[in-house]
Amino acid sequence: MIRTVFMIGLFALLGLFALKLLFGILAGVLGLLWWLLLIAVRIAIIGLLIYFVIRVVSPDTARRIRERWSS
């Protein structure tokens, strides 16, 4: 009976260790993906601003850029 109690305790500790390890790795991966998403959004906003400046200054160049990326 004592052996059974110790085995249940051992499996419980191993399960807690596995969950902590899994969620620790998962949190790191999710943090990395969030960071990459923020960088992508910043780059997209900067590119959009540059496109609008080009569109105001030189509409013909903006048209050529739009044609190149739309086809």
Number of domains in the chain: 1
Measured from the Cβ of residue 53, the count of other Cβ atoms closer than 10 Å reads 11
The structure's pTM equals 0.60
pLDDT digits (tens, 9 = 90+) for 6-63: 899 999 999 999 988 888 888 888 899 999 999 999 999 999 999 999 999 999 988 8
pLDDT band, residue 3 (cuts 50/70/90)? confident
Q: Which of 43, 38, 47, 41 is nearest to 69 (CA)?
A: 47
C-alpha 9/C-alpha 65 separation (Å) is 65
pLDDT digits (tens, 9 = 90+) for 19-29: 888 888 888 88
Q: Reply yes or no on whether the pLDDT at 71 is more than 80.
A: no
For residue 27, give its domain range: 2-70
